[in-house]
Amino acid sequence: MSEALDRSENIRLLRDSAAAIVTATDLKRIRALRQQDPGFDPAVWRDMCDLGWVALRVAEPQGGTGLGMQEYVALAEELGRGLVPEPLIPCAMAAQVLTGPALAELLSGRRVIIPAWQERANSLDVAGDTTVAGGRASGRKMFVPMAAGADAFLVSGRDGMALVERHAAGVHLAIERTQDGGNYGTLSLDNAPCTPVAGDMSAALEEAALATAGYLLGVMERAFAMTLDYLRTRQQFGRPIGSFQALQHRAADLKIQVSLARASVESAAVTLDSSSVPALRLSAVSRAKARAADAAMIVTRQSIQLHGGIGYTDEYDVGLFLRKAMVLANLYGSAHLHRGRFAATAPDDDE
């Protein structure tokens, strides 16, 4: 009971601390950062590091706070409400693997180190064909999130992992803009110098996928709340349009989508905190990510439709939530991929 109370208090404190960064009712900061490099505010990023968020899943002996996935998912949800673009999830993924000075620099906010692990679209293979042997790295990594702001990359390969400096010889980074105004990078390595890193990022990838599901939960909740406010205030035929039964039914359907996504995401976080059984952990993450990705797209699209013509204008904020959902729905595995993995890993008695 005491542990449950401590966890609830930790979650409450994290949500409260997020108010220093997340301004859900004022998206001017988010708009100003769109289509700009690096796509996030370095000063805000340092504030997030000072709050200990990047270190949340790092063990205490290594300078972290050692909190659980339930706390991490709750924080990600709050960030999703405010569409926070700072790269907490990818950097927290790197923090779980790094040690020594590289980890200290990442946790302090002095350096941004982002994992580069994906070589093919819609894949969860963290190795691929990249080589990182003999102090040299060669290969190509795709879909590196917020790569424009990276100082270095944690590169995975078939031989292990390595740290590669962004501006090292043999490193080429191509930046592409994403729908939400952020960016992805394609990292090409041609015999680039690298520093070997021990360990495996597979477990960190699973946690990043679940944290992204938590972020998507925050995105859809905020979009839905904005839609309810609009339905209550927009007048037609002398009364709020939210009083029309057809729109009430549509809003109820969206509420169900949000509630099911929350149940799945929170259940998966409990599983990762309490179970060491690989199949249970994989199936829980896949169920949550598939549910959150599908629900976020349904809720944000319907939210725009329920706003009418104004919802389709770029100047109206609800559209920002659809753009974010479009980018994150496939990150760390699409709903289709995770449904397939869930079918392959879920226990027979899983409901």
| Owner of token pair 């208090």 | 9
Please name the fold of domain 2-108. Answer: Butyryl-Coa Dehydrogenase, subunit A; domain 1 (1.10.540)
The CATH number of the domain covering residues in 113-197: 2.40.110.10
**Per-residue model confidence (pLDDT) at position 351:** 45
Below-70 pLDDT ranges, the chain: 1, 23-25, 349-351
Q: Round to whole Å and give the CA distance between 342 and 332.
A: 14
Architecture of domain 202-345 in this structure: Up-down Bundle (1.20)
Task: List phi, psi (to 5°) of 221.
Answer: -65, -45
Predicted structure pTM score:
0.96
Q: Map out the domains of the chain as residue ranges.
A: 2-108, 113-197, 202-345
**Per-residue model confidence (pLDDT) at position 349:** 64
Q: What is the DSSP letter of 149?
A: G
Write out the H or E segment, with its range, that includes residue 139: strand 136-145
Supply the DSSP string of 18-75, one letter for each residue.
HTTT--TT--HHHHHHTT-SSSS-HHHHHHHHHTTSTTTTS-GGGTS----HHHHHHH
47 close to 183: Cβ distance less than 8 angstroms: no
Grouping H, G, I as helix, E, B as strand and the rest as coil, residue 254 is helix
pLDDT digits 0-9 by tens, 130-155: 999 999 999 999 999 999 999 999 99
Task: List phi, psi (to 5°) of 113.
Answer: -120, 120
Sheet containing 152-157, strands listed edge to edge, beginning at the edge strand earlier in sequence: 113-116, 152-157, 160-165, 195-197
Q: Taking the CB of residue 36, how many other CB atoms lie within 10 A of it? A: 14
**Per-residue model confidence (pLDDT) at position 232:** 92
